[in-house]
A and B are shown apart, each in its own frame.
Chain A
């Protein structure tokens, strides 16, 4: 009953503030559209596994061309490809080199192809080349654009960013305008306020997440192999995490500007660990920081779903972690409100 009152109030406020409503939905779409137009690639040293039947001179030539080369059986290599431990596997198939690529990151695929070509050219002049190269893609394809790879991360990031900011600021306003104190002078319980906010904003973020995901997938034609419903589930959970984290942190800001100061501290670092940049080039201790970041799980799940077309088993862990983050932030929020009323 009381929770419902908060939910209805938040929804009404949203519809009055058309600009914020537009910011939450149109701004992410706009930035995704821009990213779609301008994206470029970067340098990367590929991890290539080779079958024992590949000639030794070719192996040396690969190493010469800056590849990390390991020898393994085909079965093991397929496994590692699936887990993204390696980028490609090469085997001899009569006179042709058969190249299997993991393929979900087009810049990596391109680098692998270039490395293999370079290696075979140093071995033989192009005219007399004994090998033909046969490339097979595990995920994705030759014409997958770089944006397809970054896309899922960007969807996750923008939803996280805007929900974090808007939820944080509106909860902060509740405090600076005195309405929070007014609410705490009523018999309203602290957890009822938190739940009211989660549901009120939850309804909005569901609409927001579905509009942004549909825009990216159906209008920008972003690669989409898995189920749309799972994509919605992940974006919704990511929004919930952003919402609960935003309202929690707003307790530690005194005005809107201080809320914005949390962006470089809390939101931007998550971008580095979201898979937008290649994590393999990072120090292991640095990489482990990503484990504490919600966006790391959200982006991972979105990629599994959109690029690799996996089922729920592949994202279940990410889903549970995101739910746990939201619950943890909600509980902490109930405690943070103690600052304003002990009871």
Chain B
């Protein structure tokens, strides 16, 4: 088991944004967190990544309790916003993040070349990032999250604002990364993306309303689409 959440709650200024969430993510799977915007998806993945702390409950990633700096070195995180330095070139951005993760010399150079190739930006690596299109920035963010070959990859809405072709390419890429043994957690509010996950957690108003594979969830509710299944589970909680 790669990630385990036990009775996790989170309060911001006395307002509860995550309420008693318990779930498990198995090693080597693509796990989706599905929910409308404002449901608490970002808060949840930030707690798993070790940036935020749960008010109650515990989170374990790769066997250690979060937040933990050693474990954070084994996690790759891609935030919702493209956290890149616009004045710098793609190459310089990757050099910076590689150094932060302690990569050096030949290994660093190799990894940078590999991830640039992976996201197909090798030809544009010397361009300043502020000249990049939205899609290119997303791909560069993904490349930065993959630099240190993380065992757990956390992606917060990785395909927002990306054209369908590129979205397809990113999902194929995620599948390839998964096959190498990486555990992937991805948040989304798009139903057809959720279909591509091996297992799913449905989140509404900070509560976990269902967990299971897309087929299981549809079977349980007797529906044909995830959207209907979501509505069904949502009603049960309302």
Chain A: residues with CB nearer than 8 A to chain B? Answer: 1-2, 4-6, 8-9, 12-13, 16-17, 177-179, 181-189, 340-343
Q: Mark B71-82, 1 if CB is under 8 A from A, else 0.
A: 011010101111
Query: How far does the alpha carbon of A16 sit from the alpha carbon of B92 in the complex, in Å?
Result: 12
The reply to whether A182 and B83 contact each other, CB–CB distance below 8 Å, is: yes
Please provide the 7 A-B residue pairs with the shortest distance between their CB atoms, ordered closest to farther. A182-B83, A5-B99, A16-B87, A178-B81, A185-B77, A178-B83, A187-B73
Q: Contacting A178 at CB < 8 Å: which of B50, B73, B82, B88? A: B82
- A-B residue pairs in contact (CB < 8 Å), sample of 11: A2-B99, A2-B100, A5-B96, A12-B88, A181-B51, A182-B79, A185-B79, A186-B72, A187-B69, A343-B53, A343-B67
Given the interface pairs A186-B100, A187-B73, A343-B67, the reply to whether A177 lies near B83 with Cβ below 8 Å is yes
- Across-interface contacts of B97 in A (CB, < 8 A): 186
- For window 36-95 of B, CB contacts with A under 8 Å fall at 49-53, 67-70, 72-73, 75, 77, 79-88, 92, 95
Which chain B residues border A16 with CB–CB below 8 Å?
87-88, 128
How many chain B residues touch the partner (CB < 8 A)? 34
Bound form: Cα–Cα A189–B82 in Å? 21
On whether the beta carbons of A187 and B101 are closer than 8 Å, the reply is: yes
C-alpha gap A16/B127 in the complex (Å):
12
Cβ contacts under 8 Å, A181 to chain B: 51, 79, 83
Residue contact A184 to B51, C-beta cutoff 8 Å? yes
- Do A178 and B69 form a contact, CB below 8 Å, given A184-B51, A185-B51? no
Q: Which B residues touch A177, using CB under 8 A?
A: 81, 83-86
Q: Which of A4, A9, A12, A187 contacts B70 (CB 8 A)?
A: A187
17 extra interface residue pairs, beta carbon distance < 8 Å, beyond A8-B96, A178-B80 = A4-B99, A5-B95, A6-B96, A12-B92, A16-B87, A17-B87, A177-B84, A179-B85, A185-B77, A186-B97, A186-B100, A187-B69, A187-B70, A341-B51, A341-B67, A342-B53, A343-B53
| CB closest chain-B residue, reference A189 | B69
* A179 cross-chain contacts in B, Cβ below 8 A: 83-85
Asked whether any CB of chain A lies closer than 8 Å to the CB of B164, the reply is no
Residues of chain A within 8 A (CB-CB) of B49 are 185
Q: Which residues of B contact A340 (CB under 8 A)?
A: 51
* CA of A258 to CA of B81, assembled, Å: 22
**Residue in A closest to B104 when the chains form the complex, CB atoms:** A1
Taken together as a complex, chains A and B put the C-alpha atoms of A85 and B59 apart, in Å, by 66
Closest residue of chain B to A185, judged by CB? B77
Cα A13 to Cα B92 with chains together (Å): 10
Closest residue of chain B to A15, judged by CB?
B87
Closest CB in chain B relative to A10 CB, distance in Å: 10
Task: Report which residue of A184, A186, A343 has the largest number of chain B beta carbons within 10 angstroms of its beta carbon.
Answer: A186
The CA of A4 and the CA of B96, in the complex, are separated in Å by 10
Interface digits, B166-188 against A, CB 8 Å rule (1 contact, 0 not)?
00000000000000000000000
Instruction: Determine if B102 is an interface residue (Cβ-Cβ < 8 Å).
Output: yes
CA of A294 to CA of B53, assembled, Å: 37
Interface residues of B in 124-168 (CB under 8 A from A): 128, 144
Contacting pair B77 A2 (CB below 8 A): no
Q: In the complex where A8-B96, A9-B96, A342-B67 touch, is A187 in contact with B81 (Cβ < 8 A)?
A: no
Q: A13-B85, A178-B83, A341-B51 are in contact. Are A187 and B72 (CB under 8 A)?
A: yes
Chain B: which residue is nearest A184 at the CB level?
A: B51
How far apart sit A179 and B92, CA to CA, in the bound complex (Å)? Answer: 14
- Least CB distance from A276 to B in Å reads 36
Report the minimal beta-carbon distance from A321 to chain B, rounded to whole angstroms: 35
Closest residue of chain B to A342 (Cβ to Cβ) is B53
- Contact at A185–B102, with CB atoms within 8 Å? no
**Chain B residue nearest to A14 in the complex (CB):** B87
In the bound complex, how far is the Cα of B148 from the Cα of A188, in angstroms?
A: 14
